Amino acid sequence: MSNHSTEAFEALKQRLPDWANRRPIAERYPDMDYGPLPVTPYICEEFFEQERAKIFKKMWLYVGRVERLPKAGDYFTQVIEAVRVNKNSTSPSFIICRDNNGEIRAFYNTCQHRGTTVCWNNHETWDTANRKYFTCRFHGWVYNTDGSLRSVPDEKLFFNLDKTTRGLKPVHCAVWKDFIFINVDPSPRQTLLEQIKPHAEQLKDFPFERIRRRGIWTATVNVNWKAAIDAFQEGYHVGTVHAATLPEAFCGSLNPYCRPTSARIFPQGNRSVTFMVSPDFTPPAVENWVRRRGASWYAAASGDSGSEFPGVNPDNDPFYAFDVHGVFPNLLVDPFIGGFYGHEFWPISVNKTRWIGSINFLAPQKPSDLIANEHGKTLLRDAFREDTVTLEATQVGLESGAIETAVLCDMEIAPRHLYNSVVALVNG
Amino acid sequence: MAVNSVRQFVPPTGPTVAVYRLADGYFATDDRCTHGEAELSEGDIEGDEIVCPFHLGKFAIRTGEPTAAPCFAALRCHRVTLAEDGNLYLDWPE
């Protein structure tokens, strides 16, 4: 990989953007406003309330993967603060389940007797539970896994109770390649596929269904949700923030600042960015050892787009490492040859966000895959932690009154497009 | 039937029956829980008790006696016999 003298290497090198003389992303998207960005959307409570109303309560939101619900009756719960009714309302909880007919469904986790939360699982443990029925612990109302009300203890004492009107309140639920999304808008303005179209088209053959989660972590951080996403969707920070874990993997003589080799922006805030591995990088011995035995945290850079993983590297960039797909509004899916990383960003308030990061690999075919996966998982876990380290410091500064605008460079196209798209939706 | 399993039996007349197999033999009770509307044949066996799938009340499989709230009325028990032909037969008066 680090043989710099071959013709093949020279050919790959020639295909890199001409960073010395150009700003390649701005040239690709010349109509974008590349001016400074006022910091108000990161710090303003009223703006945040508009985001909740116009984005989070209107759009499809990713809540989990089908792999969490293998059997009939499997379910998990999730609290979603961003869709609470009013600014000071308690946040609603949702049940996402596989019903007895095998269908994936979602409901408000709210008993239709007097409103009690039905399932009390901790939504931050990622446990999957299984029930034949959802029974409210307060008075024992029983719901089928399809949400219909099955049984009311001492039912005859109620007055004209019509059980058919008292099922768990459903929310729209749709699945794309094992990714489960819900939409709390009673009449969604578009389908899930319309909302995520550019990603669904680019990754239509990526083998998400055969990929399994190997690690997942969370942190609740005092930062605006957009600023949190931004720390995970540009490479400019890599040389500094990841000096301890990945000092040379992405930064080297050909690309000292971890510039993306290509980027794409799409309607409605969607975007994708491609990153390269530095050909100078010589993995440590242990990493070489595991890499020969299974998928680690990226595939060896070769220019090969990976026939087993169609859809990666959309522009066929040289020295390919991974893509960041910004799935608007709050999800990043980062496919690579061997699996994908996932990042969810759940706004709690204007300056508090729950981040959930995961690493996912093709289901192991042999024991050595598990060893390689474990190595990749551990290294990425540390890099993810580094990514979260700057978040609170950023928010403190944004709220300090000492900075009125942020200035973004060519390679920070994804943060810029996310910002522009949110502002357009809020003001639209 | 596997040991520690339960299945529903629908007789020609009358309410459905839950048939149980424990380590030492076969037993049968009414299928309908005396508290709610659950079918106990959908429940789980714990020791020699059946756990109702609706509210987690329990009954002793051998006697039908309620052993955990919110169940307070006993189940009706039925005699079930494993015959030499390998079939299970239920005493069914109705």
Query: Do residue A16 and residue A82 come from a single domain?
Result: no
Note whether residue A387 is domain-resident.
yes
A269: left (phi over 0), alpha (psi -120 to 50) or beta: left
Residue A271 sits in the same domain as residue A153: no
Task: Report the residue from B37, B42, B54 with minimal CB separation from A135.
Answer: B54
Name chain A contacts of B53, Cβ cutoff 8 Å: 132-133
For residue A232, what are the domain limits? 7-40+207-427
In a domain, A54, yes or no: no
The verdict on B36 touching A (C-beta cutoff 8 Å) is: yes
Number of inter-chain CB pairs under 8 A, A vs B: 27
Is residue B70 within 8 angstroms of chain A, CB to CB?
A: yes
Of A329, A252, A378, the residue nearest A48 (C-alpha): A329
**Would you say residue A410 lies in a domain?**
yes
- Is residue A219 located within the same domain as residue A358? yes
Query: How many domains does chain A fold into?
Result: 2
Q: Domain boundary at A187, A215, A243, which?
A: A187
A51 found inside a domain: no
Question: Is the domain of A101 the same as that of A217?
Answer: no
Q: Look at the block and give the residue holding tokens 């639920």.
A: A173
Q: How far is A73 from chain B (nearest CA, A)?
A: 12
To the nearest whole angstrom, how far is the Cα of B87 from the nearest Cα of chain A?
30
What is residue A366's predicted lDDT score, i.e. its pLDDT?
85
Of chain B, the percentage scoring pLDDT greater than 90 comes to: 88
Residue with tokens 């969810």: A344
Closest CA to A47 of A412, A266, A351, A329: A351
Q: Where does a domain end: A187, A220, A251? A: A187
A351/A236 same-domain check: yes
A349 and A393 together in one domain? yes
User: What is the reported pLDDT for A302?
Assistant: 41
Structural domain includes residue A196? no
Q: Indicate whether A310 and A228 sit together in one domain.
A: yes
- The angle formed by the CA atoms of residues A222, A226 and A232, to the nearest 5 degrees, is 90
Percentage above 70 pLDDT, chain A: 96
Final residue before a domain boundary, out of A152, A187, A222: A187
ipTM attached to this prediction: 0.86
Over chain B, what is the mean pLDDT? 94
A151 beta partners: A142
Mutate which of B37, B50, B56 to test chain A, going by most A C-beta atoms within 10 A? B37
> What CATH number is given to the structural domain containing A296?
3.90.380.10
Q: Is the peptide bond before A347 cis (omega within 30 degrees of 0)?
A: no
Q: Is A290 exposed, middle or buried (0-12, 13-18, 19+ CB in 10 A)?
A: buried
Cβ within 8 Å, pair A151-B53: no
A228 and A317 part of one domain = yes
Condensed to tens digits (0 to 9), the pLDDT of residues B47-85 reads 999 999 999 999 999 999 999 999 999 999 999 999 999
Low-confidence ranges of chain A (pLDDT < 70): 1-4, 122-125, 298-306
Assess if residue A213 is contained within a domain.
yes
What gap in Å lies between CA B59 and CA B48, rounded to an integer? 9
Which structural domains are found in chain B, ordered by start? 5-90 (2.102.10.10)
- List Cα–Cα distances, A124 to A9, A63, A64, in angstroms: 46, 12, 12
Q: Is residue A313 within 8 Å of residue A332, measured between CB atoms?
A: no
Residue of A118, A135, A139, A163 to mutate for B, most B C-beta atoms under 10 A: A135
Tell me whether residue A312 is in a domain.
Answer: yes
Q: Are B88 and B56 in contact (CB under 8 A)?
A: no
Task: Give whole-number Cα distances, B21 to A383, B46, B53, B56, in Å.
Answer: 54, 12, 18, 20
What is the domain-level CATH number for residue A102?
2.102.10.10
C-alpha separations of B19 from A156, A208, B6, B34, B83 in Å:
30, 44, 6, 16, 15
Type of residue found at A136? C
Query: Could you tell me the CA-to-CA distances from A352 to A47, A421, A422 in Å, in that order?
Result: 14, 21, 17
For residue A124, the model assigns a pLDDT of 59
Tens of pLDDT, residue by residue over A335-352, are 998 899 999 999 999 999
Do A99 and A18 belong together in one domain?
no
Chain A residues whose CB is inside 8 A of the B42 CB are: 132
Residues of B in contact with A132 (CB under 8 A): 42, 53
Cα dihedral angle (A124, A128, A131, A136), rounded to 10 degrees? 0
Indicate if A378 and A292 belong to the same structural domain: yes
Q: How many CB atoms lie within 10 A of CB A22?
A: 11
Which pLDDT score, from 0 to 100, does residue A125 have?
A: 64
Return the structure tokens found at A393. 């410091």
Using an 8 Å Cβ cutoff, are A256 and A394 in contact? Answer: no
Mean pLDDT score, B16-42? 95
Do residues A161 and A211 both lie within one domain? no
Q: Is residue A48 part of a domain?
A: no
> DSSP of A322-360, one letter per residue?
EEEEEETTTEEEEEETTEEEEEEEEEEETTEEEEEEEEE
Please answer whether residues A112 and A188 qualify as being in contact, where contact means their C-beta atoms are separated by less than 8 angstroms: no
**Cβ within 8 Å, pair B55-A140:** yes
Asked if residue A138 and residue A241 are part of one domain, the reply reads no
**Tens of pLDDT along A161-219?**
999 999 999 999 999 999 999 999 999 999 999 999 999 999 999 999 999 999 999 99
Question: Would you state the structure tokens that stand for residue A239, as one six-digit string?
Answer: 């040389």
| Cβ pair A250, A258 in contact under 8 A | yes
Kind and range of the H or E element at A287?
Answer: helix A285-291
